[in-house]
């Protein structure tokens, strides 16, 4: 399982460079991406896939949904910021929508 420590600045920059669709956010310290789908059923189907993966990884998104739009923030509370678990979940989410 990916480590729970907060990423170093170097590791963070390296990871973010490989996740061009995600933006850094400050509060909570993490990364953020918004997804748009054709309608609510597509948005919720996506959320369901993310939910199953998140539960298996025991690492969960902070997210919101308004009709066809899903906004996800990934942060690791126990690490006080962005950790490898967030990066792993971001990659997995990108894989779902790829």
What residues line the site for a second copy (CB under 8 A)?
40-41, 44, 47-48, 51, 54-55, 60-67
Beta carbon nearer to a second copy, 5 or 65: 65
Beta carbon nearer to a second copy, 11 or 51: 51
Q: Residue 25: which H helix or E strand, with range?
A: strand 23-25
Beta carbon nearer to a second copy, 21 or 55: 55
CA-nearest of 39, 91, 28, 92 to 70 is 39
Beta carbon nearer to a second copy, 18 or 41: 41
Min separation Cβ 10 and a second copy, Å = 29
Min separation Cβ 16 and a second copy, Å = 22
The answer to whether 19 and 31 are in contact (CB under 8 A) is: yes
Q: 86 Cβ partners below 8 Å, 6+ apart? A: 30, 31, 59, 74, 75, 76
Residue at token pair 């969960």? 60
Min separation Cβ 12 and a second copy, Å = 22
């Amino acid at each position: 399982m990916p480590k729970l420590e907060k990423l170093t600045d170097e590791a963070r920059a390296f990871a973010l460079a490989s996740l061009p669709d995600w933006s850094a956010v400050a509060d909570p310290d993490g990364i953020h991406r918004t997804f748009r789908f054709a309608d609510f059923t597509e948005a919720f189907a996506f959320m369901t896939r993310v939910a199953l993966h998140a539960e298996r990884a025991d690492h969960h998104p902070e997210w919101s949904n308004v009709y066809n739009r899903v906004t996800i923030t990934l942060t690791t509370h126990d690490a006080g910021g962005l950790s490898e678990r967030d990066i792993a979940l971001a990659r997995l989410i990108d894989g779902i929508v790829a």
